[in-house]
Amino acid sequence: MSIINDSKGTELRVAVVQHDIVWLQPKMNTTALQALLTESLSEPENKVDLILLPETFATGFAVDEGVSEPKSGPILQWLIQCAQHCQAVVAGSVLVQMGAKQVNRFYWVKPDGTVMHYDKRHLFRLGNEGDYVEAGQARQVFTINGFRILPQVCYDLRFPVFQRNRNDYDVMVNVANWPAARRHVWDTLLMARAMENQCYVLGCNRVGVDGNQVAHSGGSAAYDFKGEAIMQLPDNQTAVAFVHLVKNQLEAFRAAFPAHLDADEFKLS
């Protein structure tokens, strides 16, 4: 596990982007996202520190379609340009070539062009993701404005041991292509992760029907450290929501109810 430091502060402003991904059309998707962000962030009051995009936001969850890109491919270049243009960290997952397979890589791209990443650890068995994708091994924590961020990708949400807060993060983010058929699980687990880890949780999901005819209803949302919803995007709509997180509110809650001090010690192999 590595912690990557950034500037300090007490507030974090996040734009959560929920959109309908056009199957296997990265240029069309990035062009649409650029227009959506330009419009959404045009007002000064909508300036943000972090922009979250869904899992495989440029291609759809097409692990068996040969759409992975090289390590410095065009989708990553678009993320770098987007971060510079918006003057915010931009994060979302991209299928990236890695030897004979690929990785489902959560990119964390800063306005100065710095690129960091987390590779999805838990691969979706029902979608045969493991046949085409190598599982990531390293747990990552990124830091922005004094907030420590644990990045997760879709199916990771079902595995609480990997996500257990070891007093090393303040916000869990999960970017996903979570299907409508299991939407209740998505809603429930986002809330549960916030409560059990005493952290903010941000879920960023897609909408629309993909090339495998799997429907996605969205459910992008933000929960506070008590599991209470502080933002919920409308179902089945492309939209951008703004979330304002306050560090001292989280710290005050943890100090008043320090359950984390009684957590079990453990190590992951």
> Does residue 55 have an active-site annotation?
yes
CA angle 63, 90, 141 (to 5 degrees): 85
Measured between alpha carbons, how far is 92 from 75 in angstroms, rounded to an integer? 11
Residue 151: helix, strand or coil by DSSP? strand
CB 169 within 8 A of CB 141: yes
Write down the catalytic residue from 69, 86, 110, 154.
154
Host H or E run for residue 194: helix 183-197
- Of 91, 181, 87, the C-alpha closest to 127 is 181
- Whole-Å CA distances, 199 to 80, 123, 138, 227: 28, 24, 21, 9
CB 24 within 8 A of CB 210: no
> Does residue 199 have an active-site annotation?
no
> Does residue 154 have an active-site annotation?
yes
Measured between alpha carbons, how far is 20 from 71 in angstroms, rounded to an integer? 25
Taken as a whole, the chain contains a residue count of: 269
Write down the catalytic residue from 120, 129, 204, 247.
120
Q: Catalogue the active-site residues.
A: 55, 120, 154
